[in-house]
């Protein structure tokens, strides 16, 4: 195998591949990126077994061939050399990397391409296409709520399911839940709801462009996304996503309106004093005023008042500030509405005017 | 200056406190007679019949059929234990509870407040008795080992002071049978070797003792014979842990007996934890075998423990990993590690899951007991004959 290409173009793809690869063990094929040069094109493959990545870019092919190299080091090499053309050449179980304009050469040991695992293919899947911007927005509204508790593995991903003619994304860690539902110009075909691990969704958020569309394919075990030259896939999480519908309050007694950034900024300030393990923050509502405060500890306290639109009995809520901060950060509205019934029942946070998403948060006990 | 404080026949004393008609009777708290299970605590009257804790209940019944056999009401004991520990903490900020009925108090630097050690100990005993009606035995010494032995010498309602510098003399004055940590098997070995006194044991060098009893036991016995602490407290993990342990009167490899005791320990530490301002996700199991070798194993789970059934379930798993089922066990300990402030656990759950239900069942059981509407205990501790082999869940049995 031998090819020449522009360094930055290759570096971009190699760094994407490196994000997919989890292993840093130089002796494992799983740490390697597969390079396949043929007919003026270089295709790359990387996988951590669960998430797989494929792309291609145009190169000057000198000699066709397939080889795998330690991705971490290749990425390091590419980052260290200046812009310009570089040549990669396979030579007896090594790949020689050299810029065409500098007297430096790197030798990387290789592992034969045949030993690289077969990547899953989207055969017999249900396929549809979504506007990239919509999918990225929907991921942003939900991904932070995914549980990282491995004993609740069925909550370790974002649930994708049909919602009327469109698509709903739901994520929960058992204490809060985020939901977004959107319809598109074309109807989403019926598929059985799937739990998608957050890693692939983060990759989409980071690498997919805002314009254009993303092709989606869902099979029994995997989900596939295609945008630009990229094809990425992930194994789905097996298991039953919880019956989330029943924890979404249908009606709430009380309603409070507040400017989103006022609340977010004051939470950030008060959080300096909030106990970092429980992140317990006290929200006190009375006519027209919201007080955000920390519980007193050996260091001190913080308390801030902000105006809000609320008419009702004085209420004290205890909440994990992260469960407020995370949704408030990604909501795209000037005002948010908080609805609640009792201090120990789930609260609903939604944009005003209402949109196609909302967040549910379970409070902590008020002692 | 350390105080080792032991609540006298604690569970039995609480039962007697709550039902004065039991005064002077042999009270045996534990499994029901005719069933499987062990004795948790018995009154001094019952001890005269040869009944002791961790003894199979059938054996206790054989020795003392006229005894009053009562089920374990752990929450009530925890409540009273908490009151006693609170009194301790008024005497010194440095209280180290060892189990529900036992604590070390570091009284260093409290002389100006409470007077010389013997005087302070009397004040402590008076205070506990006046406020709770319970008696304690106090051992005073400069090391934990001597204090622990001393508290056991004049039970019940005892006080024994080992003066500073007298620890070795104190140890040498003990009968060999009082040498803490030397159980039945070790005593048997003493007899075989013709060792009849602590002094005789102390005259052997550490290497020689080790060659006769094995390395771990050798170190332990050599230190103990010279009145030095062989490390009974273990490294101080501060207030970040909570544990309880039971020494079997006879070393045992009988799995069911070990599980019964483990269940009792799981309940004890769980209720103590619920009663505290802390939560924990880490469970630690300690096993000391008949050769004195001691191992500790711990496991951490993602969410804080909310029921003693979960604690027991995990404890059994740790036990099965740590123990081959054949080595004889002389001491079993169970504790929570890495305690964190309770507010962590005050987070509400969107999806009511099983553990929350079990926790609610346990607190309902407690309320039934507290309000005098009945007595509840775990089916496992009832020791049903021929019960199925399922892992215990939240099932509480009424008797």
Give the whole-angstrom CA distance, residue B359 versus residue B337.
20
Chain A to chain B, count of Cβ pairs less than 8 Å apart? 55
State the pLDDT at residue B398: 34
Per residue in B203-229, pLDDT (tens digit) is 888 888 888 888 878 888 888 888 888
Query: What are the structural domain ranges in chain A?
Result: 2-115, 126-246, 254-361
Which residue is catalytic, options B102, B267, B310, B362? B102
Per-residue burial over A266-283, b if 16 or more Cβ lie within 10 Å, else e, is bbeebbebbeeebbbbbb
Q: Is the pLDDT of residue B168 over 50?
A: yes
Query: Are the C-beta atoms of residues A91 and A110 closer than 8 Å to each other?
Result: no
**Which of A151, A152, A280 lies closest to B343 in CB terms?**
A280
CATH architecture for residues A2-115? Roll (3.10)
DSSP codes, B113-170:
HH-SHHHHHHHHHHHHHHHHS--EEEEEESSHHHHHHHHHHT-SS-EEE--TT-HHHH
Pair B259, B320 in one domain = yes
User: Which residues of chain A does B302 touch, with a Cβ-Cβ cutoff of 8 Å?
Assistant: 149-152
Pair B344, B289 in one domain = yes
Q: Does A80 touch chain B (CB under 8 A)?
A: no
User: Which residues of chain B does A177 touch, with a Cβ-Cβ cutoff of 8 Å?
Assistant: 350
State the pLDDT at residue B294: 86
Of B184, B128, B183, the closest CA to residue B156 belongs to B128
Q: Is the pLDDT of residue B396 over 60?
A: no
State the pLDDT at residue A158: 98
Q: Does A298 touch chain B (CB under 8 A)?
A: no
Pair B315, B255 in one domain = yes
| A175/B348 CB distance under 8 A | yes
End-to-end CA distance of chain A: 69
Query: Are the C-beta atoms of residues B198 and B209 closer than 8 Å to each other?
Result: no
State the pLDDT at residue B387: 36
> What is the dihedral angle through the alpha carbons of B181, B183, B185, B186, rounded to the nearest 10 degrees?
40
Reduced to 3 states (helix: H, G, I; strand: E, B; else coil), residue B248 is strand
User: Phi first, then psi: what are they for B261, rounded to 5°?
Assistant: -65, -40
State the pLDDT at residue B385: 36
CATH for A126-246, options being 3.10.450.50, 3.10.150.10, 3.40.50.300, 3.40.190.10: 3.10.150.10
Pair B95, B67 in one domain = no
| A176/B349 CB distance under 8 A | no
**Which of A152, A247, A320 lies closest to B347 in CB terms?**
A320
CATH code of the domain in which B291 resides = 3.30.1490.100
**Which of B343, B344, B349 lies closest to A362 in CB terms?**
B349
Pair B86, B24 in one domain = no
**H or E element that contains A110:** strand A106-112
User: Which residues of chain A does B303 touch, with a Cβ-Cβ cutoff of 8 Å?
Assistant: 149, 151
Query: Are the C-beta atoms of residues A182 and A356 closer than 8 Å to each other?
Result: yes
Per residue in B179-189, pLDDT (tens digit) is 766 667 788 88
> What is the dihedral angle through the alpha carbons of B265, B270, B275, B281, rounded to the nearest 10 degrees?
130
Q: How many CB atoms lie within 10 A of CB B279?
A: 22
Q: Is the pLDDT of residue B344 over 70?
A: no
State the pLDDT at residue B155: 87
- β-partners of residue A318 are A282, A364
Give the contacts of B254 (CB within 8 A, at least 6 positions apart). Answer: none
Strand B27-30 and strand B68-70: the pairing is parallel
Mutate to test the interface with B, among A364, A366, A367 (most CBs of B within 10 A): A364
State the pLDDT at residue B388: 37
Per residue in B135-167, pLDDT (tens digit) is 999 999 999 889 999 998 888 999 999 998 898
Give the domain extent around B68.
Answer: 10-72
pLDDT tens per residue, chain A (367 residues)?
Answer: 999 999 999 999 999 999 999 777 777 888 999 999 999 999 999 999 899 999 999 999 999 999 999 999 999 999 998 899 999 999 888 999 988 888 888 999 999 988 899 998 888 889 999 999 999 999 999 999 999 887 788 999 999 999 988 999 999 999 999 999 999 999 999 999 999 999 999 999 999 999 999 999 999 999 999 999 999 999 999 989 999 999 999 999 999 999 999 999 999 999 998 877 778 899 999 999 999 998 877 678 899 999 999 998 999 999 999 999 999 999 999 999 999 999 889 999 999 999 999 999 999 987 6
Pair B252, B288 in one domain = yes
Residue B370 included in any domain: no
Least CA distance to B302: which residue of chain A? A149
**Which of B302, B348, B351 lies closest to A150 in CB terms?**
B302
Pair B121, B93 in one domain = yes
| B347/A150 CB distance under 8 A | no
Number of folded domains in chain B?
Answer: 4
Final residue belonging to a domain, choices B334, B354, B374: B354
| B349/A247 CB distance under 8 A | no
DSSP codes, B20-45:
GGGTTS-EEEESPTTSS-BEEEE-HH
CATH code of the domain in which B103 resides = 3.30.70.270
**Which of A174, A278, A363 lies closest to B341 in CB terms?**
A278
CATH 3.40.718.10 fits A254-361, yes or no: no
pLDDT classification of B394: cutoffs 50, 70, 90: very low
Query: Are the C-beta atoms of residues A99 and A84 closer than 8 Å to each other?
Result: yes
| B350/A344 CB distance under 8 A | no
Per residue in B234-282, pLDDT (tens digit) is 554 445 678 888 888 788 899 988 998 998 899 889 888 877 777 888 9
CB < 8 Å from B in window 249-278 of A:
275, 277-278
CA distances from A223 to A185, A197, A242, A254, B161 (A): 22, 10, 20, 41, 74
Pair B112, B162 in one domain = yes
**Which of A150, A320, A362 lies closest to B350 in CB terms?**
A362
| B346/A320 CB distance under 8 A | no
| B302/A149 CB distance under 8 A | yes
Give the whole-angstrom CA distance, residue B226 versus residue B209.
13
Q: How many CB atoms lie within 10 A of CB B323?
A: 19
Mutate to test the interface with B, among A148, A172, A174, A320 (most CBs of B within 10 A): A174
Residue B236 included in any domain: no
State the pLDDT at residue B342: 62
| A175/B343 CB distance under 8 A | no
Contact residues, chain B to chain A, C-beta under 8 Å:
301-303, 340-341, 343-344, 346-351, 353
Per residue in B14-39, pLDDT (tens digit) is 999 999 999 999 999 988 877 777 88
Q: Do domains A2-115 and A254-361 have the same CATH topology?
A: yes
Note if B268 is an active site residue. Answer: no
Pair B274, B191 in one domain = no
- Is the alpha carbon torsion for A27, A28, A31, A36 positive or negative? positive
Q: Does A149 touch chain B (CB under 8 A)?
A: yes
ipTM above 0.85, yes or no: no
Residue B188 included in any domain: yes
Least CA distance to B343: which residue of chain A? A278
Pair B206, B187 in one domain = yes
Pair B84, B65 in one domain = no
Q: What is the pTM of this model?
A: 0.58
Give the whole-angstrom CA distance, residue A175 versus residue A145.
9
State the pLDDT at residue B240: 60
CB < 8 Å from B in window 210-249 of A:
242, 247
Give the whole-angstrom CA distance, residue B13 versus residue A287.
56
Final residue belonging to a domain, choices B167, B195, B214: B167
User: Which residues of chain A does B351 touch, with a Cβ-Cβ cutoff of 8 Å?
Assistant: 172, 174, 242, 247
Final residue belonging to a domain, choices B167, B186, B211: B167
| A174/B350 CB distance under 8 A | yes
Pair B93, B154 in one domain = yes
């Amino acid at each position: 195998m031998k090819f020449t290409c522009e360094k930055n173009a290759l570096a971009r793809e190699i760094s994407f591949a490196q994000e997919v690869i989890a292993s840093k063990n130089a002796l494992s094929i799983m740490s390697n990126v597969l390079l396949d040069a043929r007919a003026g094109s270089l295709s790359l493959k990387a996988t951590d077994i669960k998430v797989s990545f494929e792309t291609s870019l145009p190169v000057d092919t000198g000699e066709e061939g397939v080889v795998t190299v330690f991705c971490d080091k290749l990425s390091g090499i590419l980052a260290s050399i200046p812009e310009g053309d570089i040549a990669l050449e396979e030579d007896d179980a090594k790949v020689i990397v050299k810029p065409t304009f500098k007297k430096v050469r790197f030798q990387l040991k290789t592992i034969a391409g045949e030993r690289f695992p077969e990547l899953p293919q989207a055969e017999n899947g249900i396929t549809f296409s979504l506007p990239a911007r919509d999918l990225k927005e929907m991921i942003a509204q939900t991904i932070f709520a995914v549980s990282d508790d491995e004993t609740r593995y069925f909550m370790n991903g974002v649930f994708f399911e049909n919602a009327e003619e469109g698509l709903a994304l739901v994520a929960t860690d058992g204490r809060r839940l985020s939901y977004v539902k959107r319809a598109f110009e074309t109807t989403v075909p019926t598929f059985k709801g799937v739990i998608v691990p957050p890693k692939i969704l983060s990759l989409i958020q980071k690498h997919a462009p805002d314009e254009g569309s993303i092709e989606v394919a869902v099979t029994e075990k995997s989900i596939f996304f295609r945008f630009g030259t990229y094809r990425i896939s992930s194994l789905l999480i097996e298991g039953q996503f919880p019956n989330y519908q029943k924890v979404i309050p249908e009606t709430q007694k009380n309603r409070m309106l507040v400017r989103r950034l006022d609340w977010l900024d004051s939470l950030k300030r008060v959080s300096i004093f909030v106990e970092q393990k429980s992140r317990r923050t006290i929200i006190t509502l009375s006519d027209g005023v919201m007080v955000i405060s920390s519980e007193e500890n050996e260091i001190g306290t913080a308390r801030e008042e902000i105006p809000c639109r609320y008419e009702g009995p004085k209420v004290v809520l205890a909440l994990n500030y992260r469960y407020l901060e995370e949704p408030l950060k990604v909501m795209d509205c000037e005002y948010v509405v908080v609805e609640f019934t009792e201090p120990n029942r789930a609260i609903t946070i939604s944009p005003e005017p209402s949109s196609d998403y909302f967040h549910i948060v379970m409070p902590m006990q008020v002692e | 200056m350390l105080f080792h404080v032991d609540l006298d026949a604690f569970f039995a004393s609480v039962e007697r406190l709550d039902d004065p008609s039991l005064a002077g009777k042999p009270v045996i708290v534990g499994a029901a007679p005719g069933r499987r299970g062990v004795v948790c605590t018995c009154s001094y009257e019952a001890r005269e019949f040869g009944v002791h804790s961790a003894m199979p209940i059938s054996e206790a019944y054989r020795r003392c059929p006229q005894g009053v056999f009562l089920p374990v009401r752990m929450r009530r004991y925890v409540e009273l234990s908490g009151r006693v520990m609170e009194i301790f903490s008024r005497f010194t900020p440095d209280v180290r509870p060892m189990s529900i009925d036992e604590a070390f108090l570091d009284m260093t630097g409290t002389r100006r407040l409470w007077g010389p050690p013997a005087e302070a100990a009397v004040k402590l005993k008076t205070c506990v008795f006046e406020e709770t009606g319970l008696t304690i035995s106090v051992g005073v010494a400069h090391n934990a080992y001597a204090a622990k032995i001393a508290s056991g010498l004049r039970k019940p309602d005892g006080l024994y002071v080992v003066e500073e510098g007298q620890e070795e003399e104190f140890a040498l004055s003990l009968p060999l049978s009082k040498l803490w940590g030397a159980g039945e098997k070790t005593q048997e070995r003493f007899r075989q070797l013709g060792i009849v006194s602590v002094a005789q044991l102390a005259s052997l060098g550490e290497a020689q003792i080790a060659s006769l009893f094995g390395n771990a036991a050798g170190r332990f016995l050599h230190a103990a014979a010279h009145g030095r602490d062989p490390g009974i407290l273990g490294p101080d993990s501060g207030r970040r842990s909570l544990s309880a342990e039971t020494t079997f009167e006879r070393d045992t490899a009988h799995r069911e007996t070990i599980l019964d005791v483990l269940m009792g320990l799981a309940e004890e530490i769980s209720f103590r934890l619920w009663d505290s301002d802390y939560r924990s996700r880490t469970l630690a199991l300690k096993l000391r075998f008949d050769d004195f070798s001691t191992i500790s194993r711990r496991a951490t789970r993602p969410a804080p423990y909310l029921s003693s059934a979960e604690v027991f379930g995990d404890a059994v798993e740790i036990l099965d990993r740590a123990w081959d089922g054949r080595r004889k066990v002389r001491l079993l300990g169970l504790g929570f590690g890495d305690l964190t402030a309770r507010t962590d656990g005050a987070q509400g759950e969107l999806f009511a899951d099983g553990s929350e239900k079990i926790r609610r069942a346990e607190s309902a059981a407690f309320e039934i007991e507290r309000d005098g509407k009945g007595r509840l205990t775990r089916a496992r501790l009832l020791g049903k004959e021929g019960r199925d082999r399922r892992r215990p869940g939240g099932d509480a049995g009424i008797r």
